[in-house]
Each structure stands twice: as structure tokens, then as C-alpha cells.
Structure 1
Amino acid sequence: MSYTYPVKHPTGALTTEQLHLLLSNPRLIARRVADITKMKFIADYLLPARFDATGGGIFYETGEPVFANGEPEAIEPLGEYPLVVLEDGTVASAKTDKWGLDTIVADEKIARQGRVPVDRGIQRVSNTIVRFVDSVTMAVIASRVSSTFASEAAWTTAGSAVEAILTIQAERAELGLGFELDTVVLRPAQYAKVIAMLIDDKALPRESGATAIQGSLPVDALGLTWATTPHFQGANPLLVDRDNLGGMADEKLGGPGYASAGDFGVEVKTIRDDDAEGYKLRGRRVTVPVVTEPLAGVQLTDTGL
């Protein structure tokens, strides 16, 4: 995700007066969120489709066929093409929730500690919202992706992992749904075991191996993308097709003073409280995770991870 803002943000040490100016400028605050927030939404990574939830909710179709209910025909010159009527999926609905959090920074802290309490407040509010929205999203994905596949053998080698994944990929391909299950989502402890196994078996390409050692996520190996998040608490790894699994439905409420750190991210606002003599730092995201294709994912059981 890239960030573009028309206002340059201050760099280096700021005076108390400059900090008060920064706190009164929504776009500068949004840029600070983009600069210092290290945690990113895995919700947007696993559910990359974007839905407009204007009005507080969304209607969507689930289980929509990916193939037409007819076959192509040989067309003679100037001949007519056959017409097929596309089948619809099952209509479902989802309602957005406004997840938000406030903290307050006193003028005394700004005068005595400079930008540190401001950055700390922004970071903690933003990261907490990321954690919560990701936890909700992972719970929704785990509940909607209810189909399972049992591995014949525990994942003790790269070969056993590949065998299990290729088997379920072949089974889903036989259903003719058009899904490509290519992303594995694991808890951090499971992810650590898998990466260690891939390194021991020399199954990581040189560039991916370096990436894994440096701790950058996700990692591509064996034709799959391996991702992890501390916000996923399911016992079983998930194998999903990110392109078809679903998306996030965000509602843009607007309102004076709000600025967003990216197209889809935490919206931030600073509110001056003259009575308390400080600034309230507010973050929010108005969204709902939507899984449109439950069969675009499967839970992997009996992996031994």
C-alpha cells in the first residue's frame, strides 16, 4: 500500500510550537500514522477485494459460479454466438461496525518530552485497532471456511507438506470451481516450524531464504505464499485463494478533521481539549470483513504443527 499526501511532514526535532501545529493538521497526523505504524492489516491482505459499504451495510453474492452454464460452440462466418444466462449466487448481507479508540496527550508531556508521547499515542491507538480488526477478520474467515482436509502424514519435511497441499489443490480443481489455493496462513509458532523445515530441507530459494532469516513477511516457497499473524488463533493452518476469498467493506463516514493513513486503514483525528489542556488522539476504522467464497479456502488438519 502506498501513501500520497500533498503536505510534507516535519522531520527532525520539533519545537513545542511546531508540535502544536502538527497536532492541528489532520494530513500531517495521517502521515505520522503512515510513517510510524509498523503493523499492517492482514485483513486487507487475505481479503483484498474492496466493497463500498455506504449506508452502513452491503449486500453481496456468495457461492456464485465461476463458469457459465453452457459450452462454447463453433461459429460459422456471420453466424450467431450462443447466449447463456449467468447464474447468480446466494444473496447475503453484512453490517459495518465502527471500531475506535481514544487516548489523550497533555500539554505538559509535549513540552517536556517533545514528539515522543505524540508518536507513542498514535502508534498504540493505531496498532490496537489493527490488532482488533485483524482478530475479528481472522475469526470470520475461520468460521466461514469450514471445509477441512486431513494430511496423511505430519508436516515433518517439505515433501510431506507439498504432498498434502497438492492433494487438496487437485481435489478442489476437480470440482471445477476455478479457485487457485496458493496462500497458507499459520499461527506464528506454526510458521516458525514451517520456515525452519523449509530451510533445513533447502526448499527455500536464495532470495526467499534471506527474506525468512531477516524476518520479512510473507515468504514465497514451493509455489505457495506462507503468511502469519499473531491475530490468527485457529488450531489448523488455512490454505486460501486470496483473489477469490472475499474483501473488506469499508464505510467512509467523513466528518471534519479526519484523515486516513492510506486508502484503507486507520482514520485519525486530533481533538483539542482546552479544559484539560491536551489533545485527544482518536483512531477508527468502519468496516466489515466479507467472505464471498467459502470454498476458496480450506482448513488443513493433522499437520502436526
Structure 2
Amino acid sequence: MGYTYPVKHPTGTLTTAQLHLLLQNNKVIAKRVAELSKMKFIADWLLQGRFDATGGGIFYETGEPVFAADNPEAISPLGEYPLVVLDDGTVVAAKTDKWGLDTMISDEKIARQGRFYVDRGILRVTNTVIRFIDQVAMAVIASRVSSTFTSGTWDSAGAAVEALLTIQAERANLGIGLELDTIVLRPAQYAKVIGMLIDDKALPRESGETAIKGNLPVDALGLTWATTPNFQGANPLLLDRDNLGGMADEKLGGPNYASAGDFGVEVKSIRDEDAEGYKVRARRVTVPVVTEPLAGVQLTGTGL
């Protein structure tokens, strides 16, 4: 899944009656959430595995070897193939949490402020859920990816390349089939790196324009560079997104819930006749899991 900054919201006018109809149709609200909430989960982008947490939890193996213990053998005509027993990783359990938020949209706000207020309420609730789960996922990644590499100060594109190629080679020499190709930094660190790459003319023209416009991610030096305000670790992370882990979602169901796009949020609108308004709810039932801690490394000593 791509990760982009929020784009300009769709414009247009809906009548008060049309807004009431929208808020009474959960599938329409879910579609509206998907249209408005362009801020995708970075959690799903970094943890690309998709696990089913039916029942409220998941058992998964971590540190499972990528290669078999024995090598292939030459097979003669009509000969038998050797049988190899694959080693298992360590079994770990993780429990899902239901993260959610409500907001009230009154009939008065609908009549007086119209679509702008409705869109803003839907957007704030959804993006708040996204932000919080991203924070949880980034904290899990930072805690599970415990290995470090002292890279030396990144004062030029050359210094950064040397450090990154060195740790990539070290991890490749472990023979576990990992390819560290994505760097995640805090926004301030990201700004320094992009500025350095531009000054050293290390960004291709199209990537340089992308960086200046603020779109993510950026491809440079054979790596993918990304940032999120929901990562607060002191050290940049160098990751293998294909093997790092995944998000385990639980579909609780329940009356009138609708899925908002493909990023795990479920929404519903509940009419409150006593209060004369609508309670708009967004939730996600999930747990981030890191199945291969060696699919990442913390880069220390960069000076960023």
C-alpha cells in the first residue's frame, strides 16, 4: 500500500436533506471516509503481511529460518529426492485491541455549516484512529528491531551510501535472504537527509521534484526513504518491508458497520433522536506483529 500525505479534499455542495441521507447510510459514509482520508496507515506500508486475528489474537513464528538446513543433492534418473525437515521459529502470541473514537454531529451544525462540518468530523475521527495505530505500530517496530549499526556521521551523500551499503552487506552475509531497502526517519531527520541529497545532486530530477513537493516515499540511492510524525525514535530505521511483519486484523462485524476502503477502518453512523444528531464512529481492531526482527536495524551515530 502506498503512503502519501493527505491530498486536497473533494469540493461540492450538498443540501441539508442530502447530508442527512448520507449520515443515515453507513456504506456511503465508509466510501466518504475512503475518499477523504488519503493519509494511509504507514503501519500497513511497513508491516506488509496480512494476518487474520479471528478470535481476538494470533499465534505466529518469529525468527523462522529462510533457508533449509540441508543443501540440494544431485538426483540420478529415477532417483529419490532427499527429504529435509524445515526448522520452526519461536511461537509468539499477540492479542488484538479495539481502538475507536466517536464524534457527534448535530442537526444544527448540519443545517448551518453543511458539508464542510460533516467532512471535517468524519476526517478528524478517522485520521485520529490512523495516527494512534501508526504510533502503536512504530513503537512495536522500534522495540522489536533491537539490532544497531554505528554508521558514522552522515555529512554527505557519499557517507550515507557507504554506511548503508556496509550494513546491507553485513545483513546479506548472514545468509537469511533479507534485503534492507527502506529507511524511516523522523520528519526533522528526513528534511536534513533530503537537503543533503539535493545539495550533493544525489537525487534524480524526478525524485528531487517529489521531495520538494512533499510527497512520499522518495526513491534515492537504491533505497526508499519515508518519514512519519508518528515515529519518534532517535535512530533512523533501515528495514526489509517484505519480511518485517504484518498487521493482524479482527473483523468483529456488528450491525451497520461498513469497511472504509482497504486500510482496516470500520465506520458507522448512529442516529440519536434525543440529542438530535448523529454519532459517527471509527474503529480498527488490530495488532501489529514483527515476525522477523533481523529484517531491520537501527542506525546510530548518523548525526541527524
The reply to whether TM is greater than 0.5 is yes
Checking the alignment, whether the CA contact within 8 Å between 2:40 and 2:263 is kept in structure 1 is: no
Amino acid at match of 2:225: W
| Structure 2, unaligned runs of 5 or more | 3-9
Find the counterpart in structure 1 of residue 47 from structure 2: 47
Structure 2: how far apart are the matches of 1:205 and 1:11? 34
Unaligned runs of 5+ in 1: 3-9
Q: How many equivalent residue pairs?
A: 297
Matched, 1:218 2:250: no
Alpha carbon RMSD of aligned pairs, Å?
1.3
Offset of 1:38 from its aligned partner?
Answer: 3.1
Partner of 2:105: 105
Q: Which runs of 4+ in 1 moved over 6 A?
A: none
Task: State the match for 1:271 in structure 2.
Answer: 270
Displacement of 1:139 in angstroms is 0.4
Partner residue, 1:286? 285
- Asked if structure 1 preserves the Cα contact closer than 8 Å seen for 2:272 and 2:279, the reply is yes
Deviations, residues 128-184 of structure 1 (Å, cap 9, x unaligned): 111100000000000000000001x30011110111111111111111111000000
The whole-number CA distance in structure 2 between the counterparts of 1:250 and 1:290 is 11
Match of 2:91 in 1: 91
Q: Displacement, 1:263?
A: 2.6
Amino acid at match of 1:116: F
The Cα shift of 1:89 comes to 0.4
Q: Measured at CA, do residues 301 and 127 of structure 1 come closer, stay the same or move farther in structure 2, by a change above 3 Å?
A: same
Give per-residue Cα distances to partners, 1:41-88, cap 9 Å, x unaligned. 000000010000000000000000000010011111211111101000
Q: C-alpha distance in 1, partners of 2:161/2:12?
A: 49
Shift of 1:98: 0.3
Q: Secondary structure at the match of 1:252?
A: coil
The alpha carbon displacement at 1:33 in A equals 0.6
The structural deviation recorded for 1:12 is 3.0
Report the alpha carbon displacement of residue 188 of structure 1 after superposing the two structures with TM: 0.2
* Amino acid in structure 2 at the alignment position of 1:149: F
Name the counterpart of 2:71. 71
Say yes or no: does 1:243 pair with 2:242: yes
Identity across aligned pairs (percent)?
81
SS in 1 for 2:69: coil
CA distance in 2, matches of 1:63, 1:79: 34
Which secondary structure state, in structure 2, belongs to the residue aligned with residue 167 of structure 1? Answer: helix
Q: How far is 1:273 from its partner? A: 0.2
Does the Cα contact within 8 Å between 2:96 and 2:287 map onto a contact in 1? yes
| Cα shift at 1:11 | 7.8
Q: How far apart are residue 237 of structure 1 and its match?
A: 0.2
Partner of 2:7: none
| 1:168-219, Cα deviation, whole Å (9 max, x unpaired) | 1111111111100000000000000000111111111111111111111000
In the alignment, which residue of structure 2 is the partner of 1:139? 139
Q: Which moved more, 1:286-295 or 1:15-24?
A: 15-24
Residue of structure 2 in register with 1:7 after alignment: none
1:242 is paired with a residue whose SS is coil
Paired residue secondary structure (1:282): strand
Residue in 2 that maps onto 1:205 = 204
Which residue of 1 is the match for residue 19 of structure 2?
19
**Distance in 2 (alpha carbons) for counterparts of 1:37 and 1:144:** 29
Separation (CA, whole Å) in 2 of partners of 1:94 and 1:273: 36
- Does the C-alpha gap of structure 1 residues 11 and 188 become closer, same or farther in structure 2, counting only changes over 3 Å? closer
AA paired with 2:203? L
Letter in 2 for 1:27: K
Structure-2 separation of matches of 1:176 and 1:84: 18
The equivalent residue for 2:127 is: 127
Alignment partner of 1:114: what SS? helix
SS at match of 1:33: helix
Task: Work out the CA distance in 2 between the residues paired with 1:92 and 1:264.
Answer: 25
Using the size of structure 1 for normalisation, the TM-score is 0.95
SS of residue in 2 equivalent to 1:87? coil
Partner Cα distance (1:261, 1:161) in 2: 40
Distance 1:89 1:19, change over 3 A: same
Letter in 2 for 1:24: Q
Q: Tell me whether 47-56 or 209-218 shows the greater mean CA deviation.
A: 209-218
Q: Is the 8 A contact 2:94 2:287 kept in 1?
A: yes
Q: Distance in 2 between matches of 1:56 and 1:263?
A: 20
Query: 1:265 offset after TM fit, Å?
Result: 2.6
2:165 aligned with 1:177: no
